[in-house]
Structure 1
Amino acid sequence: MVFPLKKAMSSTCWTAINCVLLAASCALASSCIADNQLPPELQASLRAQGIKQQEIGVVVMAERDGHLRLSHLARRAMSPASTLKTLTTIAALDTLGPAFHWKTAFLTEQSPADGVLNGALYLRGGAEPNLNWEKLGVMLREIYAQGIHHINGDLIIDRRFFNPTRIDLNVAPFDSTPTQYYNVIPDAMLVSANLIDLQLSSDRDKVAVQFLPPLDGVQIQSQLQLVDENCAEWDEEWPVPTVVMEAGNPTVILNGTFPRGCRNQTSTNILDRNLYIERLIRRLWREMGGQWNGVVRDGATPAQAQIVSEHVSESLAEIVRIINKRSDNTMARDLYLTLGAQAKTKDSELTLNLAQQSVRQWLHQQHIDDTGLVLENGSGLSRIERISPLQLAQVLRAAAGSNWSAEFKSSLPIFGVDGTMAKSHSNIELGAARIKGGTLNNTSAIAGYVRDKDGENWIVVGIINRPDAAAGRLVLHDLIEWVATSSEQTSNTAKTKPVIH
């Protein structure tokens, strides 16, 4: 599936905020780490891209003993973009364990008679990050195989695993493409991220549209205007589709333009979530021969209800691999919320507050100072989340010493090979760098592990914050190459004392 790569609008206030946070962190710390002089290669790269030295924070730290090879604005709280996912995922691995699983279940209060269930069917969400419509279909087949063929009752969706149950409601759009996948806000019963996957193809005269999943009564209508443009450069900022209800059935109308002689694909989060689940289940249930008289509504599962079908997710280790390789915002947010849900001691506690407490508790257990850290949703798709390069490097060093370091490191994209780093080009040896990248309009960042030519493993963090940070990716790739192709003995940067003991 291909998703548009439109990212967040930049914030103009980050510089002032950072200055305040930097001053506070220095006042609280026993001392501030002195900056090294940036290596000539990196200085030249910054000049070539028109980026000032005060716009980049860098830490190069020995994985083995925490020795700092390079430190530049290391304590400045900066916008990390998706590199923040490294904190969320390692905190989750250590807190929940790599074998943690999410569970989704259908339950009933009534026993069926002659193939008929007279009463409600409950769908209890467990916040599975990777629950798709095919898995839901398997669950329905299990119900059908047990002899329940006719349901006379409503489908009650129980989303109470999170509090509030729908944090996505009444939230202002993050940017100009709110229906795209990277903007989907999770809830405890999210199926296929509520997406309609669109396959678009055109000839000289018309556009054909196919879509999945199968949704009962849902139509897709194309009002796309054909234009003579490059298919590969199709405008990913096409207008948000509109939904029109006719005789109780929704029609999704596609607007904008599309190139002639083009095949492309995208996805849209445009339907109400309960409507999406209702039309999906109605279609799947009918295809296997079932009948259902009822509607979908939110509610609570009674304590006496019995499970008639349950799905157990992939392991947390597998989910972490998807999150970091693909830089999946929705799954990262779901995992962050799951940390809060697992820490809940009473139903009234807010899941987001508990998630933040859980992550900060993990940092304190690793003896990492969280001064200046700002958490919002754990994914980095945020205008307010902040972490310093030093804190991020310390997180990566703690991850390297974790019992689950193998699971964590294998989740990071291999530079030039896979994940979001598959198209990165460099002269370094393949496999020498495992790097999580991050991009917003005002942020370009990397965080990960690099092996130098002497076989020494280094933790490398680089964050660039400026109004237009896209060119910073080239600078950060040069930073990775500098670490990988040089050795400390030949580097002109001065040694500093270890910051982790």
Structure 2
Amino acid sequence: MAEPVKRPTDGPLNRWGKWKVPKYLKRGSGRDDLRLVAGSAVLGLVVAAGAVLAAGPWDSGQRKAERVRAAVLQRAGGAHHEGTAPDGPAPAPSAPAVLSAPGATAGLTAPAGASALETALGPLLDAPALGSVRTAVVVDASTGKQLYARGAATPMTPASTVKIATTAAALSALGPAHRIATTVTLSPDSRTLTLVGGGDPTLDKAALRALATDAAGSLRDGDAGPVRLTYDTSRYSGPALHPIGPNENIAPVSALMADEGRLDKSDRGPALRTDDPAGDAARVFAGLLDDAGVATRSGPSSGRSPAGARTVATHLSEPLSALVERALTNSDNDIAEALARQTALKAGEPASFAGSRRAVTARLEALGLPLAGARLADGSGLDRADKVTAGLLAELLALAAGPDHPELRPVLTGLPVAGFTGTLGDRYTATSPATGLIRAKTGTLTGVNSLAGTAVDAQGRLLTFAFLASGSTSPAEAEASLDALATALAEGTR
């Protein structure tokens, strides 16, 4: 056990005017967790390296979809763009020698001041590739102090970086251990089985097979004959289609779907999607029931679970922490929309786009975040009506890194790692000084580019940042400019 540390009587204040106790000063406060946040990008990536070949940005597929939609609507389209275990890998034994815990200063040079950041970031923010409007905020995660700001309170279209807000709201509302249930119910007369969707978009054939096997066992116990099969999607309400319309990056939003409605065997990236995810899942389930020895009278039909029905089978999703990490690493739109609806259900709101917007906004407000000008129109960032500020994203990431809200930690561990995983897998070279030191969520729409995440600077500090730009004309050049900004943070003042 760590020796007690005498706390100073003064020091940096957090946003609520209280002295902010750095996590590394607290006995038993999880020092290794913050080292993981700051250091796993460098030290635990052998585990992640194998995933790099399969992971990568989704932007090209989304842009294709946008061009198709633009041709129809004569305007710019919407956005685009495997989670790890909830606790994550332990830091490597060499971690203390490579990176200090955020806030530690022994043997390090004095932190760069705002003027140094202005010198480093100002010219990069002025790059023409970033278009006509660009905003930026940098925060010291160990103190909550804002180190740099340009247009911090200016609402901007965030694209997929809005997933940071969506996932944080879900974790705050439900907790990282929450699991989404898919169930099968049997009517009182044992004549109707109902597959009840709970909103898990990662439901797959193996899970459906397990549900069918358990349901069949219950029917055999009751010596039932052929049954009628229905499927219940009533947990969700409102339009199923995202405002961007049919799109290869998102299926119709349904409380019941298998494999995110994908029509191939992929688990990430763009793919052709079914226009009837619930019906398709129910038909697969019907075939699996037949394999398990249960005959159905006809094909499955939509309908609510009958009154008085009892649950005969249940499947639980992966913990919410794993779903959050997968949503952020792969920029998974289907999971993001599902998490927004789970937040709505917890708040007693309708599980719709409108209900999710109200619930996510209320949850972020309860966390004390700056929401002036914010509009969370959807959970995924596909909708151009989304508006957030760089200040909101940077402060939210700092909150996730601090000691007061450990339930938000998966927001950080799910961020793609520069040069290694997810949508940052091919945006940093092996020789880049920022490779492994940047973890960030990407965002891309036509004319919109964003990057928000964390960086470990030359002094060993964990910084959170948000860079939002609009009016760009070359996505590749805009992304390179954003990456240069993050690299400047990692390089610091050496």
Per the normalisation by structure 2, the TM-score is: 0.71
Provide the residue aligned with 2:183 in structure 1: 105
Q: Determine which of 284, 300, 303 is the counterpart of 1:299.
A: 303
Shift of 1:269: 1.5
Provide the residue aligned with 1:137 in structure 2: 209
The C-alpha deviation readout for 1:397-422, integer Å capped at 9, x for no partner, is: 22222122433321111111212211
The C-alpha deviation readout for 1:372-427, integer Å capped at 9, x for no partner, is: 11111121111110101112112112222212243332111111121221112152
Kindly indicate whether the alpha-carbon contact (under 8 Å) linking 1:59 and 1:390 is maintained by their aligned counterparts in 2.
Answer: yes
Percent of counterpart pairs with the same letter? 23
Distance in structure 2 (CA, Å) of the matches to 1:193 and 1:283: 19
Provide the residue aligned with 2:379 in structure 1: 378
Cα distance change, pair 172–371 in 1 and its aligned pair in 2 (3 A):
closer
Distance in structure 1 (CA, Å) of the matches to 2:437 and 2:146: 19
Kindly indicate whether the alpha-carbon contact (under 8 Å) linking 1:444 and 1:469 is maintained by their aligned counterparts in 2.
Answer: no
Kindly indicate whether the alpha-carbon contact (under 8 Å) linking 1:151 and 1:293 is maintained by their aligned counterparts in 2.
Answer: no
Shift of 1:281: 2.5
The C-alpha deviation readout for 1:254-306, integer Å capped at 9, x for no partner, is: xxxxxxxxxxx973223533542343233333344442212322222133111
Aligned partner letter, 1:65: T
Relative to its length, the structure with more helix (as a share) is: 2
Distance in structure 1 (CA, Å) of the matches to 2:243 and 2:144: 42
Superposition RMSD on alpha carbons, in Å? 3.1
Unmatched 5+ stretches in structure 1: 15-34, 112-116, 200-211, 213-264, 491-501
Kindly indicate whether the alpha-carbon contact (under 8 Å) linking 1:42 and 1:478 is maintained by their aligned counterparts in 2.
Answer: no
Relative to its length, the structure with more strand (as a share) is: 1
Unmatched 5+ stretches in structure 2: 1-53, 78-113
1:478-497 superposed matches below 5 A: 478-487=484-493
Shift of 1:429: 5.3
1:339-488 superposed matches below 5 A: 339-344=343-348, 349=350, 351-401=352-402, 402-426=405-429, 427-428=432-433, 430-470=435-475, 471-487=477-493
Tell me which structure has the larger Cα radius of gyration: 1
1:157-196 superposed matches below 5 A: 157-164=231-238, 167-168=239-240, 173-174=244-245, 178-180=246-248, 182-196=249-263
Shift of 1:71: 1.3
Cα distance change, pair 105–13 in 1 and its aligned pair in 2 (3 A):
closer
Shift of 1:449: 0.8
SS of 2:322 mapped into structure 1 = helix
Distance in structure 2 (CA, Å) of the matches to 1:65 and 1:296: 56
Distance in structure 1 (CA, Å) of the matches to 2:200 and 2:265: 24
1:258-297 superposed matches below 5 A: 267-297=271-301
1:8-407 superposed matches below 5 A: 8=66, 39=118, 42=121, 45=124, 50-52=129-131, 54-110=132-188, 119-148=191-220, 152-164=226-238, 167-168=239-240, 173-174=244-245, 178-180=246-248, 182-197=249-264, 267-344=271-348, 349=350, 351-401=352-402, 402-407=405-410
Aligned partner letter, 2:231: I
Cα distance change, pair 332–483 in 1 and its aligned pair in 2 (3 A):
same
Shift of 1:86: 0.6
The C-alpha deviation readout for 1:185-205, integer Å capped at 9, x for no partner, is: 321112222221169xxxxxx
Cα distance change, pair 133–69 in 1 and its aligned pair in 2 (3 A):
same
The C-alpha deviation readout for 1:443-497, integer Å capped at 9, x for no partner, is: 111111111011011111111111525121101110111001113xx7xxxxxxx
Cα distance change, pair 469–358 in 1 and its aligned pair in 2 (3 A):
farther
Aligned partner letter, 2:329: K
SS of 1:196 mapped into structure 2 = coil
Aligned partner letter, 1:162: Y
SS of 1:70 mapped into structure 2 = strand
Distance in structure 1 (CA, Å) of the matches to 2:343 and 2:134: 31
Kindly indicate whether the alpha-carbon contact (under 8 Å) linking 2:76 and 2:446 is maintained by their aligned counterparts in 1.
Answer: no
Distance in structure 2 (CA, Å) of the matches to 1:192 and 1:59: 37
- Aligned pair count reads 387
Shift of 1:41: 5.5
Cα distance change, pair 408–443 in 1 and its aligned pair in 2 (3 A):
same
Provide the residue aligned with 2:104 in structure 1: none
Shift of 1:330: 0.7
The C-alpha deviation readout for 1:48-85, integer Å capped at 9, x for no partner, is: 65445x42111111112233322122221111111111
Kindly indicate whether the alpha-carbon contact (under 8 Å) linking 1:449 and 1:460 is maintained by their aligned counterparts in 2.
Answer: yes
Higher mean Cα deviation, 40-49 or 119-128? 40-49
Higher mean Cα deviation, 3-12 or 96-105? 3-12
SS of 1:375 mapped into structure 2 = coil
Aligned partner letter, 1:106: V
Distance in structure 2 (CA, Å) of the matches to 1:77 and 1:193: 31
Shift of 1:435: 0.8
Runs of 4+ in 1 over 6 A off after TM superposition: 1-4, 10-14, 35-38
